[in-house]
Amino acid sequence: MIEILNLTKNYGQIRAVDNISFTVQKGEILGFLGPNGAGKTTTMNIITGYLPSTEGTVRVCGFDIMDDPKEVKRRIGYMPEQPPLYMDMTVIDFLDFVGELKTVDKKKRRAQINDIMELVQITHVSKRLVKNLSKGYKQRVGLAQALIGSPEVLILDEPTIGLDPKQIIEIRKLIRALGKEHTIILSTHILPEVSMICDRVVIINKGVIAAVDTPANLSKLFAKAMKYTMRVAGPKNQVTNLLKSIYGVKNAEPLQQKEQDSYDYLIETLPDIDVRKPIFYELSKFGYPILELKSIDMSLEDIFLQVVTEESEVE
């Protein structure tokens, strides 16, 4: 659906995007992550045709952005971080204006706009001036304008920025629903959002691709040691000392008492050592039953920070 090949963008002597390549499959929601100045917005602006690349190829639905810019733009709905809204227009008039710009058939335009307003839940504010809407509703209008013309691809830059928790949850649900009908590139600084919404993640740092995979696979790839939480019935000091004595256990820390005569523990292992069976056998020797054992996966935030830090150290 989207193919980025050896994409480079220079601003004078500054290389904002450095020979990056990745693809987005049809129906996929791709999280596009990176720190400020990493090249995310530049890349999205090139994909949408707002900026020319210095080198490289961008294809959307088989069309090259350089050779067929109109065909590419026809297939993309773009919501920038600051949605391009006309504040002195009503919502319905603004969306009609966007439909005209996108050359949507006038006979079908109003029906399509009504469907989109219903989808993003702004029908009840359709006659209000955009400037009088809350931040959350302005974001919804920005999303609505991206959907006009039934684009196959949606590119959303920080769609939940500035929203309250309730609004964020609503927009997340909407993006997940849109993923059933559209291919989506989602750029956001809210990393738990990516874990909840996205099928795959691209992390870009200083203009280059630092990592590409599913959130689950990235967690396994970057986890240098496993962490577990464990609940054990038995005296705290004896259990702690036993856990620390097991080969492969780097550290065992008692947390708190959750049940009578039992405590929770945080266990960190050495790299590439599975300590679950040794822990079971050792504790069973002394009659200390394991009541609960859970692995702690690396969060996307942990992975992001590790990738960015490692890239900086290499440089």
Domain span(s) for CATH 3.30.70.3190 in the chain: 224-296
Q: Mean pLDDT over residues 10-31, rounded?
A: 93
Give the whole-number percent of the chain exceeding pLDDT 90: 60
pTM of the entire predicted model: 0.74
Question: What are the tens digits of pLDDT across the range 219-235?
Answer: 766 666 678 899 999 99
CATH topology of domain 2-221: Rossmann fold (3.40.50)
pLDDT band at 314; cut points 50, 70, 90 = very low
Q: Where are the alpha helices (DSSP H) in the chain?
A: 40-47, 69-74, 91-101, 106-119, 135-147, 165-178, 191-197, 215-222, 236-245, 276-285, 300-314
Would you state the pLDDT for residue 296? 78
Tens-place pLDDT, residues 48-88: 998 999 999 999 999 999 999 999 999 999 998 888 899 99
Residues of the chain with CATH 3.40.50.300: 2-221
Q: What share of the chain is helix, strand, coil (3-state, %, to 5)?
A: 40, 30, 30
The class level of CATH for 224-296 reads alpha beta
Q: For 105-160, what is each residue's pLDDT tens digit?
A: 989 999 999 999 998 889 999 999 999 998 889 989 999 999 999 999 999 988 88
